[in-house]
A and B are shown apart, each in its own frame.
Chain A
Amino acid sequence: MATRQTQFLARALLSPAVLLLFIWMIVPLALTIYFSTLHYSLLDPGSESFVGLDNYTYFLTDPAFLASLQNTLVLVGSVLALTIGLGIPLAVLLDQPVVGRNFVRLMVIAPFFVMPTVSALVWKNLLMHPVSGLFAWIATSLGLTPIDWFTDAPLLAIIFIVAWQWLPFATLILLTALQSLDEEQKEAAEMDGASATSRFIYLTLPHLARPITVVILIETIFLLTVFAEIFVTTGGGPGLQTTNIAFLVYSQALIQFDVGSASAGGLVAVVIANIVAFFLVRIVGRNLEA
C-alpha cells in the first residue's frame, strides 16, 4: 500500500476528520481565551470591555474557586481510591473459577451503562433519602440514626454515587488485564514454590501496574468534569460544599451569566485536565509502538 496514488487518497480521506477536530478544538478555545479577557455579562449586553487578566484574578481569588478546587480534588481522589481499591479485589475474585461468571460479570458492569442523571436520582431518593430511603431503614433497623446524606455529608454522598458508576469500569479493565496474564507464568511461579500471596504480589500486581495507570488517567479525565450528578442532586450546595470546578464554571456562565469569569474558570479547568492528559497521551503513545 505504498504507492503514490494510495498515499494521495489516504490524505484526502483523513482530512475531513482532522479539519473538523481542529476547528472543534481551536475555535471554542480561542473564543474562551478571548472572552476571559473581557468584562462580559449576559445580563448587561453591549457593555463588553477589555479587562486584561482581571477575570483570572477574580476567579482565582474567589473563595468559591478554592473551595471548588478542593472539592474537585477530594472527589477525584476519593473516587479513584474507591474504584481501584475495590476494583482490584473484585477483578481478582471474578478471575477465579466462579459458577455463572458471565452473569455475575453482567451485574457488576451494569452501573456503567446507567445514565448519570438516573443513577444520581435513584441514589438520592430511593437509597439515601433520610426518611424513606433504604439506607435509612437499614440504619433504623440496626438501631442507628439514619444519616441525612445530602445535608450532613453531601460530598461523600456524591463520591459514593460516582464511585458506584465507575467501579465497573475499573473492574472490567483490571479483569481484562488479569485474564491476559500468561497462565504458564503462574504455573512457573507455582513450580518455583511461590505461595498464592507472593504470586499476587510479585506477578499479578506488577502485571496490573499499567492497566491501573490507564484506569487512573482515564477516570481522572472524566472525574474532573463530573457535572450531571451534582446538577440533579445538590446543585452545588449546601453552600459550596459540593461545587466542583465544572459546576462552578457552569453556574457562573449560565446562572450568574458572567461570561468573562466563567471563561477564565473554563481555562483553568483546561489547564488542569491537560496536566493529566499529558501523561495519558504518553502512555497510550508508547503502546502504539508496541
Chain B
Amino acid sequence: MARKVTARHVAISTLAAWLVGFLIFFPILWMVLASFKTELEAFATPPSFLFFHWTTENYATVQERSDYLHHALNSVIIAGGSTLIALLIAVPAAWSMAFSPTKRTKDVLLWMLSTKMMPPVGVLVPIYLIYKNAGLLDTRAGLIFILCLGNLPIVIWMLFTYFKEIPKDILEAARMDGATVGRELIYVLTPMAIPGLASTLLLNLILAWNEAFWTLNLSTLDAAPLTTFIASYSSPEGLFWARLSAASTLAIAPIMIIGWFSQKQLVRGLTFGAVK
C-alpha cells in the first residue's frame, strides 16, 4: 500500500523533522554537555559547545558531597515499591473487571478514573497532618503508599485494556481443559498478559519516578528521592551548574531509557485507552 513519494518530499520532511527534533531535544543535550564541563566553563560566556575540557569530576563530586546514591536508592525503592504494590492490587481487580464484567463494571472503572482527577492539593493538608501524626513524613513507606494510591487508577485502567484484548475463548478453553482458576492464572493468563504487564509496569515506574508533588511536600532528606534532591539545587542560586547537570543527567538517564522502550504504551496508558 506504499504511496508514491518523491525524493524531494522525503528530503524536505527529513530535514525539517531532524531540525525540529534536535531543537526539542536540545535542552537535554545541553544539560548532558554541561555535566562534563568544569563549573567555570559551564558558566562561561560565550558558551563552548564541544571544544571544552571534558571532565567527569562533577559526577564524582555529586556523590561525595551530597550522597547521590542514597537518593537514587530512595527513588528506586519508592518508584519500584509503589509500582509493585499497585500491580499486586490492580492485577486481580483488572482481571475481574475484564473477564467477569457486570452491569456496574463501567461505572466502577470511570469512578476509579475520577479519583485520579482529584488534584493533590485538594488533600494536601489532611495527608500532611495524618503523615505528621503517624510519623510517616520523610519515610519511604509513606511515599510508597501515596504514590501507589495515586497511580492505582492508571494501572488498573491499563491492565484492564490489555486484559480485554485476551480472547475469552482461550480462558474458556482452559476451563474445559480442567484448569482451576489458580492454574488458569498461572499457565494461561499470566504468560499471555506479560507484554501488557510489562508496559504497565514501565509506565508506572516513569510516573512514580518523576512524581514531584508528594515527594517534594512529604520528604526532606532521609526518604528524599531524586526529585527532591534535585530541587535542593534551586537554593544556592547561580552556583554549581555543572554539578546540577551531572546530578540531573544521572537522575533522568534510567527513566529516559525505560521511557523510550515504552513510548507506544505511553499513549494508551495516559489516555486511559481513549487513543490507541
Question: What is A's interface to B at a CB cutoff of 8 Å?
Answer: 1-2, 6-7, 9-11, 13-14, 16-18, 20-21, 24-25, 27-29, 31-32, 35, 90, 93-94, 96-101, 103-127, 129, 131-132, 134, 136-137, 140-141, 164, 167-169, 172-173, 176-177, 180, 183-184, 186-187, 210-211, 214, 218, 221, 224-225, 227-228, 231-233, 245-246, 249-250, 253-254, 259, 262-263, 265-267, 269-270, 272-274, 276-277, 280-281, 283-285, 287-289
Contacts of B171 in A (CB 8 A): 1
Q: B216 an interface residue at 8 Å Cβ cutoff?
A: yes
Minimum CB–CB distance from A139 to chain B (whole Å) comes to 11
Known A16-B92, A183-B3, A245-B121; 16 more pairs at CB < 8 Å: A1-B100, A10-B97, A10-B100, A13-B93, A14-B108, A17-B89, A21-B152, A98-B10, A111-B28, A118-B251, A121-B248, A227-B213, A259-B129, A262-B125, A273-B118, A280-B113
- Check A231/B20 contact, CB under 8 A, given A10-B99, A20-B152, A249-B121: no
Contacts of A183 in B (CB 8 A): 1, 3
- Check A281/B110 contact, CB under 8 A, given A1-B99, A17-B152, A97-B9: yes
The contact of B16 among A16, A93, A263, by CB within 8 Å, is: A93
Contacts of A284 in B (CB 8 A): 110, 113, 272-274
Contact B123–A266 (Cβ < 8 Å): yes
Docked pose: A56 CA to B16 CA in angstroms: 52
Q: B183 an interface residue at 8 Å Cβ cutoff?
A: no
Q: List 12 A-B contacts (CB under 8 A).
A: A10-B99, A17-B112, A17-B156, A28-B130, A98-B18, A115-B251, A118-B248, A125-B238, A125-B241, A164-B27, A250-B124, A266-B121
Q: B81 an interface residue at 8 Å Cβ cutoff?
A: no
- Check A110/B28 contact, CB under 8 A, given A17-B89, A172-B267: yes
Contact A225–B120 (Cβ < 8 Å): yes
Contacts of A106 in B (CB 8 A): 260, 263
B94 to A, closest residue via Cβ: A17
Q: Which of A106, A112, A121, A285 gathers most chain B CB within 10 Å?
A: A121
3 closest A-B pairs by beta carbon, nearest first, are: A10-B100, A277-B117, A31-B126
The contact of B45 among A32, A98, A137, A262, by CB within 8 Å, is: A137
Minimum CB–CB distance from A152 to chain B (whole Å) comes to 17
Minimum CB–CB distance from A121 to chain B (whole Å) comes to 6
Number of interchain pairs (Cβ within 8 Å): 338
Contacts of B245 in A (CB 8 A): 122, 126
Contacts of B213 in A (CB 8 A): 225, 227-228, 246
Docked pose: A179 CA to B161 CA in angstroms: 20
B156 to A, closest residue via Cβ: A17
Chain B: interface residue count, which band?
Answer: 35 or more
Which of B50-58, B61-69, B192-200, B226-234 lies at the binding interface?
B226-234
- Check A117/B230 contact, CB under 8 A, given A97-B5, A187-B3, A254-B128: yes
The contact of A126 among B30, B96, B106, B212, by CB within 8 Å, is: B30
Contacts of B206 in A (CB 8 A): 113
Contact A28–B126 (Cβ < 8 Å): yes
Contact A132–B128 (Cβ < 8 Å): no
Contact A20–B89 (Cβ < 8 Å): yes
Contact B114–A277 (Cβ < 8 Å): yes
Minimum CB–CB distance from A197 to chain B (whole Å) comes to 15
Contact B110–A254 (Cβ < 8 Å): no
Contact B234–A232 (Cβ < 8 Å): yes
Minimum CB–CB distance from B216 to chain A (whole Å) comes to 6
Contacts of A29 in B (CB 8 A): 118, 122-123
B273 to A, closest residue via Cβ: A287
